[in-house]
Amino acid sequence: MKNLQYLLLLVIMFTSCEDVIDVDLPTGEPRLVIDASFEVYLNEPQIDVEGGIRLTLSAPFFDDDVPTVSDATVFVTNNSDDSIINFFEATEGLYLPAGVFVPEFGTSYTLTVVHDNETYIATTELVPGVPIDNIVQGDATLFDGDETEVIIFFTDDGSRDDFYLFDFDFSLFLPSEDRFYQGESFNFSYFYEDMVAGQDVTIKILGIDERYFNYSSLLIEQSEQDGGNPFQTPPAVLRGNILNTTNPDNYPLGYFNLSEANRSQFTIEAK
């Protein structure tokens, strides 16, 4: 059993980015931002898929007003049988599947977005994850002594190279890779601030690929500097895996991601 504190895990996280991702401050004409992320829960009594496709326009760096995009054509193609799942605009800028959409392993899926007579596409596959073995509350602290330690236990799959995105609720995220715990049972500590006894938190572990690991690592790093949610409109321009096939120079921002996810609810105990 390996144990690693959160601070060391952060070092691992940020020293492992190898792919080149363009980062610029947003200037000039606004670009389409496509946030297309789905979490597939296969290990629950009933399979559940959470997520959607959010379309916005990039805003100036210091502008808090993020314009949404309506009247786009959005669909996902299952490339194994060419079946198409159409998406409808449920609320301003948020598109949800009009039918059943349950991604399967070993199948590639292509997202297509048509907006202002330009076509944007991205192709990806469902990335496997692993279950959470256990969550316990510890009594360690970090800086001011008021933090709440939560220890997460899971077992890595030794048959493959894995990348994970941990979601600790409250827009708190942590990417990790299995380079230092390949195929082993592993645990690490995460520290919450301003928690009270009886408060519920939902902790998730998402399987992600290496490119999305690098993308989310940079996104989280920048959002921590800006103090915002990393998976809302990014504070700097991060190009993901989506292309503009009509006008390549007018590239979009954002990412198309399909993750197998597992989650567990934990109630904060009195210290």
CA distance 260 to 129: 5
Residues 6+ apart with CB under 8 A from 29: none
pLDDT at 6: 40
Q: What 3-state DSSP class applies to 146?
A: coil
Q: What is the pTM of this model?
A: 0.86
pLDDT at 29: 81
pLDDT at 262: 99
Burial readout 75-111 (b: 16 or more C-beta within 10 A, e: otherwise)? bbbbeeeeeebebebeeebbbebeeebebeeeeebeb
- The residues that bridge with 200 in the sheet, in sequence order, are 267
pLDDT at 221: 86
Over the chain (271 residues), the average pLDDT of each successive run of 10 is 42 40 57 97 98 90 76 98 98 98 98 99 99 97 89 98 98 96 98 95 99 94 64 66 98 97 97 84
pLDDT at 228: 54
pLDDT at 222: 80
Structure tokens at 74: 């959005």
pLDDT at 18: 41
Q: What does the H/E/C string look like for 12-46? A: HHHCCCCCCCCEECCCCCCCEEEEEEEEEECCCCC
Structure tokens at 186: 């592993």
CA distances from 2 to 22, 76, 139, 197, 224 (A): 35, 40, 19, 28, 28
Angle at which helices 210-226 and 6-14 cross, to 10° = 120
Identity of the residue numbered 170: F
pLDDT at 7: 39
